[in-house]
Structure 1
Amino acid sequence: MRIVIAVGLGLLLPLTVQAQSRNPRDLAQDAIIVDTHIDAPSELLSHWNDLGEATPSREFDYPRAREGGLDVAFMSIYTSPDEDAAGTAWQTANTQIDAVEAMVARHPDKFAILRSPADVEKLRKGGRVLLTPGMENGAPIGDDLSKLAAFHARGVRYITLAHSAANRISDSSYQLEKKWGGLSPFGEQVVAEMNRVGIMVDVSHLSDDAIRDVLRVTDVPVIASHSGMRHFTPGFERNISDELAKAVAAEGGVVQLVFGTAFVNPKAASDLTAYFKAESDFERENAALAKAGKPVRSKDEFEKAWKDAHPVPVTHIDAVLDQIDYAVKLIGVDHVGIGSDFDGVSGNLPVELRSVADYPNLVAGLQKRGHSDADIRKILGGNLLRVWSQVEKAAQH
């Protein structure tokens, strides 16, 4: 299903752009590409693969990462609300970090753990892909602020404060009924402690009020590790609003734009919003049936019926390029990056952005739309590395 934009696409560009632009594949190889959201670790726990070798069933592996020019891959350490409720999030998170470390130990010539942006140039020599844990959902820290320093010691360099439901820290954008009205009192302490130890605060998945609270509390720039622009998906709180994107940028932060169809295609985003409402209604109806002693409906049947009625629309790379163009005009090129969500959206991606081999297609598209190579380098990774450096420098160890 993959459509690869030919390396020679530069021949189709206006002469004024072509004269100052490198071949897109060469630029992707030379630039430092930082993708802030790849869900390989949770996939490894569900089915082990040696990602140092070609793994066609996944969207991230070493051969395709090098083909695409990827240098720094933030490995998503994801835990679910159910694991939070069961008290197993800490265990799951540490197991996933172990999986990342095992990849590096198995292939030290192909991978390395990146703990500081200052080490990128040194560690990427020899064609290594650098892996950094980024924790998706703050649930693994439980009620213990000291676990932030413990996870920092394990290499975690950003934490998405919540995921698809409110936790002890923050409200989620997905949850219809908000628990805290933003951050919890404990969540404010979490943000301050993350600033202190040098972990970037990630506002993707948070409610609007929670993002406002984060920006009020933080002393350093923050990131949105994998968000779309809500301008294209009205009413979809999971994507960041213009107001909040500008606020993140005003504090020096960066919005890492996502590739997943559900975030960049208006129809898919509308369906996802409707899904969460339907799921909430389903759970409420089942609870009422159980209370009345009646048989409950099957969740698997609910999921199948929903998917059958809402097929994922085919989406192309222009949807992602539109997001980048809009964000650059809105908040400035110094505050835009990429966080693909590879291996995290069940293959629901633009046709031309199917895996980590396809970053050159993004480069070619940006060049065709008139972005300079210098600005493309910023978008591909320079901006994220700047914010990471600022957070690291401000930390008090």
Structure 2
Amino acid sequence: MMKTIKTHSGLMLGLFLALGSATGALGSDESQLPVPSERAMDLAQNSIIVDGHVDFPMQLMQTGIDPISNNGATNFDYERAIRAGFNAPFMSIYVSAHYEGTGGAKAIADMLIGLMEGIANQHPDKFTIATSVRDVRKAAKAGKISFALGMENGSPLEGDLENLQHFYDRGVRYITLAHSKANHISDSSYDDDKRWGGLSPFGRVLVREMNNIGVIVDVSHISDDAFYDVIELSKAPVIASHSGARHFTPGFERNMTDEMIKRLAEKDGVIMINFGTHFLTKDGSGRRLGRDQAYVDYRAERGLNDTAAVYSEFRRWFDLNVAVPFASVSDVVDHIDYVRDLVGIDHVGLGSDFDGVGDTLPTGLKDVSGLPLLIQEMIDRGYSDEEIRKVLGENALRVWSAVEDVAKKN
């Protein structure tokens, strides 16, 4: 598990502070943040940190930014990640829900996978594509960052199980069954159209085949009924790659109820906590619900249709014009505490949604460089090193290993 970074933790601490300031990683509103201890920095550097969801691939496709050092243009780049010990992100192969109707979803997914393969091929000393738990552990020992691939939205499968095999062969190791709209697989938590009452007939077949082939089922984004369908059908543990506890955000279906978290744990699964403010606090989730209505008003006032381009422009407008009640690192750990107290430490992890939740990330966690501060908060609350390592990555790796084992038996 040890990485081949030989720098003394005290020097790493200095680099964390100096380089964070130099690159703008912490931002001017974060100048009063606490300093992570050497213990926090040691844990960051000597643990495998699995993040269930990072939206960097779409940012890369849209902007062509530098994956090594991009001066804070995204929440992720190599220099900040390696400094913070961030070494095993699931990179999101995100395909917008509107492709379900227009076609072309499979091609978009293939392009995003190709981009991540290209980065790994161009920088083999820094990155590798990880298709197994063994790959992740090997890369960590070599001091490299693993790109595991998770497909956000199953639309690229296009109703054909042969496409599941295609994407497995290309490295995809989890699939978020739906995104913001119901698709041919599942209903969505964000969509009032509950056409299937959970999973579709194809979705039910798909879950079984994902078990057979070794692809993790991700229940983030799907409706509550679809979640319970997955729990009943899956022979392997499942994950919620970037969700939170609905206890803190009443009425926000995208997060999970206590009963759902308990059922996930009974399946030996993991909920990976989203860092977006609207996932973390009641005020934040209220802002999300307000944003949904604001989007309706925005389109009506301008006579615009609901398209991906219109929504993207609206998000830019909204983030510039509507104040954000930022959550904090403490709010993230409140969710971790809550899940631990509800079902145990083995069933919670991290699913930041870096580069996917815009300017809603908590104070102290505006990008990957803030992870030592999250570790410090856990230390301050009395978590042991073993417990922290479980949350950072070992729980997620356990689930991935179990999914691999189920597939081997089929």
Using the TM superposition, give the Cα deviation of residue 127 of structure 1 relative to its aligned residue in structure 2, in angstroms: 1.7
Shift of 1:297: 4.7
Distance 1:351 1:191, change over 3 A: same
Letter paired with 1:334: D
SS in 1 for 2:394: helix
Equivalent of 2:139, from 123, 148, 152? 123
Give, as a single letter, the amino acid of the residue that structure 1 aligns with 2:47: A
TM-score (norm 1): 0.89
Instruction: Check conservation: 1:54, 1:64, Cα contact below 8 A.
Output: no
Aligned twin of 2:303: 296
Instruction: Return the match for 1:247 from 243, 246, 263.
Output: 263
Contact 2:65 2:73 in 1 (8 A): no
Is the Cα–Cα contact under 8 Å of residues 49 and 55 in structure 1 kept in the other structure? no
Partner residue in 2 for 1:369: 381
Letter in 1 for 2:370: D
What is residue 353 of structure 1 aligned with on the other side? 365
Task: Tell me by how many angstroms 1:33 deviates.
Answer: 0.7
Q: CA deviation at 1:271?
A: 2.4
How far apart, CA to CA, are the structure 2 residues paired with 1:201 and 1:354?
28
How far is the alpha carbon of 1:278 from its aligned partner? Answer: 5.6
- One of 184, 191, 196 as aligned partner of 1:168: 184
- When residues 168 and 280 of structure 1 are mapped into structure 2, their CA distance, relative to the original with a 3 A threshold, is farther
Q: State the superposition RMSD in angstroms.
A: 2.1
How far, CA to CA, are the matches of 1:132 and 1:379 in structure 2? 18
Structure 1 contact 50–103 (Cα < 8 Å) conserved: no
The alpha-carbon distance between structure 1 residues 304 and 257, as it changes in their structure 2 partners (threshold 3 A), is closer
Larger CA deviation: 43-52 vs 93-102? 43-52
2:203 counterpart residue number:
187
Q: What is the match of residue 378 of structure 1?
A: 390
Q: 1:70-81 counterparts in 2 under 5 A?
A: 70-81=86-97
In the alignment, which residue of structure 2 is the partner of 1:292?
A: none
Question: How far 1:193 moved relative to its partner?
Answer: 0.8
Q: Could you give the per-residue CA deviations for residues 214-244 of structure 1, whole angstroms, max 9, x where no partner exists?
A: 0011111000000011000001000011100
Q: Distance in 2 between matches of 1:304 and 1:154?
A: 33
| Contact 2:50–2:392 (Cα < 8 Å) also in 1 | yes
Residues 308/343 of structure 1: CA separation in 2 closer, same or farther (3 Å cut): closer
CA spacing shift, 1:7–1:272, aligned 2, 3 Å: closer
Verify: 1:316 aligned to 2:361, yes or no: no
Q: Give the counterpart letter for 1:376 in structure 2.
A: I
Q: Percent identity?
A: 46
Q: 1:248 to 1:298 in 2, by over 3 A?
A: closer
Aligned equivalent of 1:228, options 221, 235, 244: 244
Which stretches in structure 2 are left out of the alignment for 5+ residues? 1-26
How much has 1:54 moved relative to structure 2?
4.3
Paired letter, 2:379: Q
Q: TM-score, normalised by structure 2?
A: 0.87
Is the contact between residue 52 and residue 110 of structure 1 (CA under 8 Å) also seen in structure 2?
Answer: no
1:133-159 CA distances to partner (integer Å, 9 max, x unpaired)? Answer: 100000000010111111011010000
CA distance in structure 2 between the partners assigned to 1:344 and 1:379 by the alignment = 21
1:84 corresponding residue in structure 2: 100
Structure 2 CA distance, aligned partners of 1:33 and 1:88? 33
1:336 aligns with 2:365: no
Q: 1:271, 1:310 within 8 Å by CA — same for their partners in 2?
A: no
The amino acid of 1:241's aligned partner reads T
Q: Which residue of 1 aligns with 2:24?
A: none
Deviation at 1:274, TM superposition (A): 3.8
User: What residue in structure 2 maps to residue 48 of structure 1?
Assistant: 64
Aligned-partner Cα distance in 2 for 1:277–1:181: 25
* Alpha-carbon distance in structure 1 between the residues aligned to 2:318 and 2:56: 26
**Residues 75-114 of structure 1: pairs in structure 2 closer than 5 A:** 75-114=91-130
What are the Cα deviations for residues 312-351 of structure 1, in whole angstroms up to 9, with x where unaligned?
2122111101111111101110000001000111131011
Per-residue CA deviations over 1:235-272 (Å, capped at 9, x if unaligned) read 10000111001100001100001111121121121222
Select the residue among 25, 33, 36 that pairs with 1:7.
Answer: 36
Letter matched to residue 63 of structure 2 = H
Alpha carbons 1:225, 1:339 under 8 Å: kept: yes
Q: Work out the number of aligned pairs and report it.
A: 375
Instruction: State the Cα deviation string for residues 36-78 of structure 1 (Å, max 9, x = none).
Output: 1100100111100220234421111111111111121110000
